[in-house]
Chain A
Amino acid sequence: MKALLLLLAAAVLPAADSNSVLIRNVSVHPVTGPDIQNGSVLVLDGKVAEIGPKIAPRGGARVVDGHGLQLYPGMINAGTNIGLDEIQALHDSVDLDEIGMFNPELRAEVAFNPSSQHVEVVRAGGITSLISLPGSGGGGGSVITGQAALMHLDGWTWEEMAVKPSAVMEMLFPQIQSGGGRRQAAAGAQRSYRDDENQYKERLRQVSLFFEDARRYEKAKTAGAPDFQRDIKLEAMLPVIDGKQALFVRASTERAIKDAVAFADKEKVKIVIADPREIGATGPLLKAHQIAVVLGKTLALPEHEDDPYDAPYTLPNEFFKAGVKICFGTFDVEFARNVPFEAAQAAAFGLPHDEALKALTINSAEILGAGDQLGSIEKGKLGDLILTDGDPMEAKTNIKQMFIAGKEVSLESRHTREYEKWMKRP
């Protein structure tokens, strides 16, 4: 009887997959504004329509009782390979690092597998959207790997999931091989630093030439040259050289960062520094140029034997203290759901708590060019929300419910299903 009533209720009330919802009786943490105890948030047609202490239901919104729990914006992982890499060891399931030095025309989102098991797994950690990068940061010799998209972790197709297609253009900034000694010994032949440096300069030169080609292409295109022919690679560079699309530059050493900033100056392009492993003296430089940083994992080993043991832990705060805008990414696949814990440990070692939270939400959105749509609970923004029983940066907190663009999404995954099934084994 009860089941029948529930079924009837489901038929009459707004369907669970509607994208209008009123969440009541929650502590609202907008991130860009003061917290509201005992508040409500109304989402209509996927966007936040109202936030306040008391809101009456309207617009066919489904009512959800928050039971006094916490409501946060859905978190953002600003650097992953989710959707492009299912099982790292099986190359057939990996679509990263295409062949070629310059691949600006490649779009990661078209290879994003919406059925990847990782989608459900990551979102169960409270993450509603992420950047999926076409490069792994590893070898392959690629410099410009392609365009990365900001993807919602919900949707029937990649098209539906793309919140901001081609959000950024990924670039692996050339770096000089360092750490001679054992790697050199292993390679057999002695590589001199001079050789490495020359090779590096040559690569930089090639990159400059490519950018110049792009500008020449633009000029010819705009001028309507009679012999103008469309080139998809150079076409893809136009938003970059026009400053409309940021270059997401992976640069791990101080020198690489400095060189990347100098490069951006020279080429007059907008950049974001991704996954730096040290700050050196680059803080003031980045601040002066208003270049933001997407941090990689906090929980990492120091780069050098003599580095302070907490060097990677304090790195986020070092950038913050220098006035640089930061957000967090994990630059992987398996641990993408743990990005909140990376932020938490940064806070343990100095980063103010609220900055850490911003670096998981609004900062990420703004740095990735989607600050008008995501990253905080504000009127007009997408209804990406999580309901938690505590601070979402704590592992012991449970993510209870999640809404992506106003639609409630399941927090079940392969992992929870295994749990349910095998707990039942007699």
Chain B
Amino acid sequence: MKQASYASILTPPILALAALFFSPVQMSAEVPSAVAIKDAHVVTVSGQDLPKGTVLLRDGLIQEVGASVQIPPDAWVIEGAGLTVYPGFIDGLSNWGIPAPASARAGAAAPVPVEPRAHGPEDRPQTYAYERAADLVNPSDGRLEQARAAGFTSAATFPNRGIFEGQGALIDFAGQRGREMVVFEPVGQAVAFRSGGFGGGGRGGFPGSLMGNISYVRQLYLDLGQYQQAKQIYNAHPNGNRHPEYDHALEGLAESPRVLLPADREQQIDRILNFGPELKMPFLIYGLHEAYLRVDELRKANVPLLVSLKWPEAPREVNPTDIPSFRDLTMRDKAPAVPGMLAKAGVKFAFYSDGVDNAAELKRALKKAVDNGLSRADAVRALTLSVAEIYGVADRVGSIDKGKIANLVVTKGEAFDDKTTVEYVFVDGKKFVPSPEMQQGPANGAGGARRGNPPSGERAEDETDGRLN
């Protein structure tokens, strides 16, 4: 029986209309952009603090900053007495803005594309060097709100899958669509050491060990050199030469201006300091839990550093007869002192969240560094201008200077103090008011996993005949 289905005809437009009202990324009204934060304590980072200064924003940029700034009549004025203005904090190595894949969130049994088992480096195992964070970012990532509540306006965000994880982008946490968030890209290639072992990730294929990872990274950069050389020679002298193969992964590697390598423990730091230069590519080191043992070496190496905010701590519930090693106890004790030590030695470093995704936890983590010898000013710098310098974007973000992007965090109280609250956050000149409840916590769960390193000292059920008794 035929039924006139008006419903079916009308449904799509109705749904579309509904989407306009109910979609999470709504179209909002355009608010005038001029804002003046008047007579606040302004920490420019690039220069002297202004005990009583004014910051004028317009069109998403810092129009003026100074002790006595002419405030235009159309500007929305925020009385800055009792408030401090800092440049918005930048997460030095993140995956904020790249939401978890839909299958993980919904719990749906979505078929995941499965790689064939890798039989060697030629199979480019676990290599996503060509992926770009810029293509993946999405303002709907719930962690962005938490990040803003901790004063973060931006991140150098990288995909988080595989050994060559892909190319990062500097993003701001505002915008209707992902593409509006991207400030600059690519900022680098992130590398993580994945040891899935025989049956683990990567379907039990190569590489299965840390040395396999290192050899693979080494091989890939060798291949890059040869690839570039081959293309060059071929284009100059195609006659008589077989044409080189196209290599998606190497193209991605070629574009990245620097590579990020992980190292937490002292022997890992030594290893990376030795290994990095082999790649003939600017590199930086992330992790650095035991860097307190290598401050001098790191200073001499003059390599940019990203210090993890996931301080090593005792697990919540322990077997009371399980006593950690002295080495681990020392690491828990001294890791938070690393930033202070690096600052004192004049070593450039920045912070990164490393799975700390929660506003209260981020603040606590930063406070821990300050409590352990890092000056507040140095802490702020490590969250702002240092990150910008490391990624070569200091001309546009990282400090409160005329012409830079209007990324600011306005606090009541000095940054990181227990009682301090984040009153406003400006991202690309847009004003956000983080919720006080969100800033208090408690932690919603464990946060994300750390980036980069396989368990060290891991000795799996190995094929050796030795008795490890």
Chain A contacts to B: CB under 8 angstroms:
176-180, 182, 185-186, 192-194, 196-197, 253-255, 297, 299-301, 304-306
Contact = CB atoms under 8 A, between A and B. Distances in A.
Contact of B321 (A178, A297, A299, A305): A178
B469 A193 contact: no
Given A178-B319, A178-B321, A297-B469, 11 more contacts: A178-B322, A180-B318, A182-B458, A185-B455, A192-B317, A194-B317, A254-B321, A299-B469, A300-B469, A304-B325, A305-B327
B6 interface: no
B327 to A, nearest CB: 7
A305 B326 CA distance: 8
Interface residues of B, number: 16
B317 A193 contact: yes
B315 interface: yes
5 contacts: A182-B455, A192-B317, A193-B319, A304-B325, A305-B325
A305 B455 CA distance: 16
A421 B457 CA distance: 45
A416 B320 CA distance: 51
Contacts of A196: 319
B322 A182 contact: no
Contacts, number: 39
B236 interface: no
Contacts of B455: 182, 185-186
Contacts of A194: 317
A55 B319 CA distance: 63
B468 interface: yes
A423 B394 CA distance: 78
4 cross-chain pairs, A with B, having the tightest CB-CB distances, nearest first: A305-B325, A193-B317, A192-B317, A193-B319
B2 interface: no
B237 interface: no
Contact of B319 (A176, A182, A299, A306): A176
Interface in B426-469: 455, 457-458, 468-469
A334 to B, nearest CB: 9
A179 B322 contact: yes
B323 interface: yes
A306 B468 CA distance: 17
B300 interface: no
Nearest to B456: A182
Interface string B318-361: 11011101110000000000000000000000000000000000
B326 A306 contact: yes
Interface in B292-328: 315-319, 321-323, 325-327
Nearest to B468: A301
A186 B321 CA distance: 21
B427 to A, nearest CB: 35
A215 B301 CA distance: 73
Nearest to A278: B321
Contacts of A254: 321
A369 to B, nearest CB: 29
B286 to A, nearest CB: 20
Contacts of A180: 315, 318-319, 322
A255 B323 CA distance: 13
A188 to B, nearest CB: 10
Contacts of A297: 469
A342 to B, nearest CB: 12
Contacts of B318: 180, 193
B321 A253 contact: yes
A194 B320 CA distance: 11
B192 to A, nearest CB: 15
A196 B320 CA distance: 12
Nearest to B316: A192
Contact of B323 (A299, A300, A304): A304
Nearest to B329: A306
A379 to B, nearest CB: 41
Contacts of A301: 468-469
A299 B323 CA distance: 23
B445 to A, nearest CB: 11
Interface in B155-202: none
A192 B469 CA distance: 27
A353 B322 CA distance: 34
A179 B322 CA distance: 6
Contacts of B322: 178-180
B186 to A, nearest CB: 32
A254 B319 CA distance: 13
A301 B467 CA distance: 10
Contacts of B323: 304, 306
B321 A255 contact: yes
A188 B254 CA distance: 36
B466 to A, nearest CB: 11
Contacts of A193: 317-319
